[in-house]
Amino acid sequence: MVDDESINVFLNPTRDDFYDPFLMKKKKKAVERIIKAINTKEKVMIYGDYDVDGITSITVLKKYLSERGLETGYYIPNRLEEGYGLNKDAIEKIIEQKYTLIITVDCGISGIEEIDMCNKLGIDVIVTDHHEQLEELPKAYAIIDAKRKDNTYPFRGLAGCRSCI
């Protein structure tokens, strides 16, 4: 049964009603890497999915990072030509443009080969996603996903745009 207080919190949440985001695995490591990118004025690519939570994630993260003086680009794969998630052709274009950090939003948890490619080319990748992980996690700099098998975050049902912030 749902009580009146639960309904009120659901309809009128405050910051105090949310879980500490640092309960998510690798959140601190990701934040420290992003702070480094801000301090050293790196070029950061936000690589998102083409659906609603992917585009929302790109918008929210780009606005936040831009307000902190960080040069950010964004990449949304063409659904019909590139499909879902990271792809090697897009990564090659990102590298040609001298980006040094890729932050995925709403994708990346299954990008094992693509993230291996980034690692070999010296590009750090922070994955923020909300999809189920495969048996193996990619070897990204940090992976933030409430559905990781080793998850300690109390709520697994976050949309992609909540995992990134």
Mean pLDDT of 91-113: 94
CA distances (Å), origin 40, targets 33, 35, 137: 11, 9, 29
Does the pLDDT at position 160 exceed 80? no
- Domain 22-163, CATH class in plain words: alpha beta
Mean pLDDT of 6-18: 87
Domain ranges of the chain: 22-163
Considering the chain, what is the average pLDDT of its residues? 90
- Angle ∠(116,141,15) on CA atoms, nearest 5: 140
- Per-range mean pLDDT, top range of 4-8, 38-42, 48-52: 38-42
* Whole-number pLDDT of residue 161: 62
Lowest mean pLDDT among 51-55, 77-81, 89-93: 77-81
* Whole-number pLDDT of residue 163: 52
d(CA 155, CA 157): 6
Banded model confidence at residue 162, pLDDT cuts 50, 70, 90: low
**Percent of the residues in the chain that have a pLDDT greater than 90, as a whole number:** 61
Banded model confidence at residue 50, pLDDT cuts 50, 70, 90: confident
* Whole-number pLDDT of residue 2: 78
